[in-house]
Structure 1
Amino acid sequence: MECKLQEMGEAQVMAAARDSVFNRVRMGYAVIESRKTDAWRLLLGEALGMQAEIQSDQSLSARMDDHVRRLIVVPGPSEDLQALGMELADEQALAVVLKRLAKRGIDVKESTTAAAQQRGVHRFWHFTGPKGLTIELYHQPRLVGAPPRMATSGFITGDKGFGHVAMSTRRPDQMKQFWREIFDIRHTDDVHYTISGVPMLFEFMRFNPRHHSIAFVYTPKIRLDPIRTRIQHLEVQAATLDDLGAAWERCRALGLTIAMSVGQHANDKAISFYVATPSGFDIEFGWNPLEVDEASWDPAVWTRISTWGHHFEGQTLAGRLGQLGRGVASLLRKEYVPAGF
């Protein structure tokens, strides 16, 4: 009897491991809605060095590697991140995620052919995720044999995805539960830090060995959200330190607003700077973050965001007051998370 119970336990563990999508999911692409297409082309193409081109449907697409699209700007009024494309490693991993969503009663729809073409994938499935962000699932990106025409040597993407996003939330427990139960996201580490007298908690989560694919930030007591957009920033990873330095110089030469100067983060050791986008959130242009060794990683709590640099720039009193007003107003809004979380 004891042997049978042990065999049953081992079978359950093996089944759970087989159904896990950890290390089989990554950030595939991001879709931004904006009416400021020319400004986005200047930022992504001339400043950050991607191959950024207007398409026949008037969207702007940016290449960073062999994928047809990584960043997509579609015409629209929200000036916000509209969707995240989550790339699954294979059809089996996609089926696991779709099954979990169905079990939760979350409405999932398949894309149109035109929408899939715009995203640079063969087909995708989409649903409404936390903060009203559309989550798009796929496993077959469209690839291009010729390398992109870029003003940089390259970006680090591959099986770890194109980068990460950071988002503020008033419902961190439900947010984390969603990403854990649907995508098997894992906790990497934390930063406890005070900004302008307000205590902030940062939690860093990963889908794969990339140090983090999503970072959540929230206030520990009174839950405020001063950020207008769904994300605070989106990150892309430069191939070399020279690429980072050249992009920094191009951003300054073009007169773009630098949100944070060059510095090094304490927890993931990335060297980066932050530039404001035309839609209000920032893009972090980073280099050489740590990767997680699952066998030896021990989550830590840090009391500073950066070991050096990352000084705030371009902030005005009006801007700080606007954030304070949005934070207070957020108390009156209900932050969306899918039912059951």
Structure 2
Amino acid sequence: MTTPGAPSVFGAVHLGYIIIETNRFTDWQRFGTDAIGMHHDSLSHDLMRFRLDDQECRFLLRRGPAEDVVTTGWHIDDHAAFEQIEARIRAHGVPLAAGTDEEAALRGVERLLRFPGPKGITQEIYTTPVKSAAPLRMLASAFVTGDSGLGHVALTSTKPAQVRGYFSTVFDARLTDYIDETISGVKLKIRFLRVNERHHSIAVAATQGLPIDPIPTRVQHLNIQAATLDDVARSYQRVHELGFDMALSIGQHTNDRELSYYARTPSGFEWEVGWNPLVIDESTWEPTTHQGISIWGHLPVGQTIVDRLAQFRAGARSVARFENTVPALSGAGIPDN
């Protein structure tokens, strides 16, 4: 949805950081460091961060009642692309606000702009991450970030075309592929959107034929990419040994071929640790539809019929919830082909 003649920002955009609001700091610290294996920095009673690499902040946790992701931060390669995105948002009449120096420091960036995003998740953009000279102290050997960005965010939506339209308008996101999946008789269509070489930085799932959102949190899951298969296996074992809930066992996805598992975070949404997803070749890639999310594995762990009924009761209640897709930026949405 780039204006004709305007340069695209595709490839200059990378998922940079995530902000989570929670009151469960002790559980989150154990989950992030002892189970997943990330580096932890305690900033105050109400603030802590996790690192994956030399960037000062990849996850900022602040004390509050949401128990959810409240902000996603996007690293923009250069000032020209940054200003182009800023101009697009202003041209659509959507308000932007500059972050304060204190807010930028907490996120480990030099400056930032924020604006509203789908499902009430604030979007922020920045150009220059602050690098930390402090060595990483983490159980994992490393995580894969770089040009692919932090990982991905998965949402559920009753308005998937509008969500796709939003990220296409703002970041020139491209459709990578679809997955059709049936869970407990409910048909899901999942759209995978990329903004760089990573197979997807955003996934949007919707129930087909039913106007319900079965997930009570703003995000269904977050994903980070481990450097080695051994890192995935060891963190999977630690999640079990420390008593955190496992949502899905180890498996391999049909579309990006990533091998991964899904743990349940202290806030209730899921956390995927993956390894070795394919990297997109823009010269040859064509979107396709895959049947089912997994080639093998990814089986529910410890989920009972009571759990499933509770999930769909939450989905039924979601019919009454208004889902803001920021219409000025999503337009009429992008219909599926």
Whether TM-score is above 0.5 comes out as yes
Amino acid corresponding to residue 81 of structure 1 in structure 2: V
- Give the match's secondary structure for 1:337: coil
The structural deviation recorded for 1:57 is 5.8
On the 8 A contact 1:53/1:62 being kept in 2, the answer is yes
Matches within 5 A, 1:212-231: 212-231=200-219
The structural deviation recorded for 1:332 is 1.5
- Give the match's secondary structure for 1:332: coil
Consecutive unaligned residues in structure 2, runs of 5 or more: 332-337
Distance in 1 separating the partners of 2:191 and 2:161: 11
Consecutive unaligned residues in structure 1, runs of 5 or more: 1-11
Equivalence for 1:209:
197
Equivalence for 2:251:
263
Decide which structure has greater helix share: 1
Q: Does 2:14 match 1:26?
A: yes
Q: Does 2:330 match 1:310?
A: no
Equivalence for 1:168:
156
1:157-194 Cα distance to aligned partner (Å, 9 max, x none): 01211100110000111111110011100000111110
The structural deviation recorded for 1:56 is 2.8
Q: Does 2:308 match 1:325?
A: no
Between the two proteins, what is the percent identity of the paired residues? 41
Distance in 2 separating the partners of 1:90 and 1:308: 40
- Give the match's secondary structure for 1:174: helix
Equivalence for 1:184:
172
Q: Does 2:151 match 1:141?
A: no
Distance in 2 separating the partners of 1:100 and 1:51: 36
- Give the match's secondary structure for 1:325: helix
RMSD: 1.2
Amino acid corresponding to residue 328 of structure 1 in structure 2: A
The structural deviation recorded for 1:318 is 3.0
TM-score (norm 1): 0.93
Equivalence for 1:63:
51
Larger radius of gyration: 1
Distance in 2 separating the partners of 1:144 and 1:327: 42
1:56-85 Cα distance to aligned partner (Å, 9 max, x none): 363110010010000111100010101000
**Pairing partner for 1:242 from 215, 230, 233:** 230
Amino acid corresponding to residue 215 of structure 1 in structure 2: A
On the 8 A contact 2:57/2:108 being kept in 1, the answer is yes
On the 8 A contact 2:162/2:327 being kept in 1, the answer is no
Equivalence for 2:117:
129
Distance in 2 separating the partners of 1:316 and 1:292: 37
The structural deviation recorded for 1:208 is 0.5
| Aligned residue pair count | 327
The structural deviation recorded for 1:331 is 1.4
Amino acid corresponding to residue 259 of structure 2 in structure 1: I
Q: Does 2:86 match 1:98?
A: yes
Amino acid corresponding to residue 241 of structure 1 in structure 2: L
Distance in 2 separating the partners of 1:148 and 1:136: 26
Equivalence for 2:266:
278
Equivalence for 2:104:
116
Distance in 2 separating the partners of 1:77 and 1:247: 28
Equivalence for 2:334:
none
- Give the match's secondary structure for 1:55: strand
On the 8 A contact 1:65/1:147 being kept in 2, the answer is no
Amino acid corresponding to residue 288 of structure 1 in structure 2: N
Larger displacement relative to structure 2 (197-206 or 218-227):
218-227
